[in-house]
Amino acid sequence: MTDPAVIAHRGYAGIEPENTVAAAVAAADHKGTAMIEIDVQPAACGTPVVFHDERLEGTRDGRPVTDASGFVRETSLETLESLSVLGTDESIPTLSALLEAVPETVGINVELKNPGTTELRVGESLPEDDRERRREVWQPFVAHVLEDCETFDGELLFSSFCEGALAALRDAADYAAAPLVWDDLEAGVEIARRYDCEAIHPPRNAIAGTALASEPYYGLSTSEPEIDVVEVAHEEGRAVNVWTVDSWLQFDELAAASVDGIVADYPGLEARTGAGLAR
């Protein structure tokens, strides 16, 4: 049993308009928050903005995420900053604006979501011949993100489903880095080793020996994981931060499996952890 760090997913998307300044500021205010996870990608001018989807017209529980349509990467910064997120007064913020609003007592987990291209190669451990090209694809955007992060004195952790993003990050700075695992746990472990990452970020059903491993969740299959990623990562000195939980039961299950951090949609899910619950 561990006492995992709580990482607020998109600024606790379960209770706030995701990836907005208001969400980040409110997340920082919750006692248990160690870090705030945000997704970044470029506006048309290349400026990093905080937004999850590559297009503006998606929905959450049937409600439009914004009042516009089109690719984020083809939309002007002025337009993005004037949109309403989930019908609230919050707009899509620049990374700079969000970092400026957040106290440095909490860390930020910057998820490098998209460098402004269509072809992403998500969750893939790249063949050697492709690695340099993929690093180059990400390099300008990652450089811009790093520039925007310079003034933030809190802890920073960069994660990505794309190996190219981590390659570009490692090339440019010494910040902590973590591959996000999609449907291939072994690929994630390989990437973590290749870039000597400080952490690995598997999905919540990737943790061996937990009840969650047999539950469907995004890319990973529901069979018992072949790799005990907690054991392997800890042996290699890496932290394991798991995404994304929305109940105290999930939090408790993962804490019992000794993970180091848990990305959560709601604050307070850690409240019952370790309270002698029967399993």
Residue 243: name its binding partner from Mg ion, ligand G3P, none (Cβ under 5 to 8 Å by kind).
Answer: ligand G3P
Q: Does 159 participate in binding ligand G3P (rule CB under 6 A)?
A: yes
Residues 6+ apart with CB under 8 A from 11: 18, 19, 20, 22, 23, 24, 26, 27, 36, 37, 38
* Residue 163 site contact among ligand G3P, Mg ion, none (CB < 5 to 8 Å, cut-off depends on kind): none
Q: Least CB distance from residue 10 to ligand G3P, whole Å?
A: 7
Does residue 204 touch ligand G3P according to CB under 6 A? no
Beta-carbon-side half-sphere exposure of residue 104 (alpha carbons within 13 Å): 8
Site for Mg ion in 35-74 (CB under 5 A): 39
- Write out the two tokens for 125: 């451990």
Distance between CA 94 and CA 92 in Å, rounded? 7
According to CB under 5 A, which residues from 147 to 206 bind Mg ion?
Answer: none
66 binds, among Mg ion, ligand G3P, none (CB under 5 to 8 A by kind): none
**Closest separation between CB of residue 94 and ligand G3P, Å?**
18
| Torsion sign over Cα 129, 134, 137, 139 | negative
Residue 275 Ramachandran class (φ > 0 left, ψ -120 to 50 alpha, else beta): alpha
CA distance 214 to 174: 37
Residue 180 as a binder of ligand G3P (CB under 6 A): the answer is yes
For the segment 116-155, give every residue that binds ligand G3P (CB under 6 A): none
Written as six digits, the tokens of 80 are 């993005």
Residue 244 contact, options ligand G3P, Mg ion, none, Cβ 5-8 Å cut-off depending on partner type: ligand G3P
Can you give the binding site for Mg ion, defined by CB under 5 A? 39, 111
Can you give the binding site for ligand G3P, defined by CB under 6 A? 9, 37, 39, 52, 111, 159, 180, 201, 243-244, 263
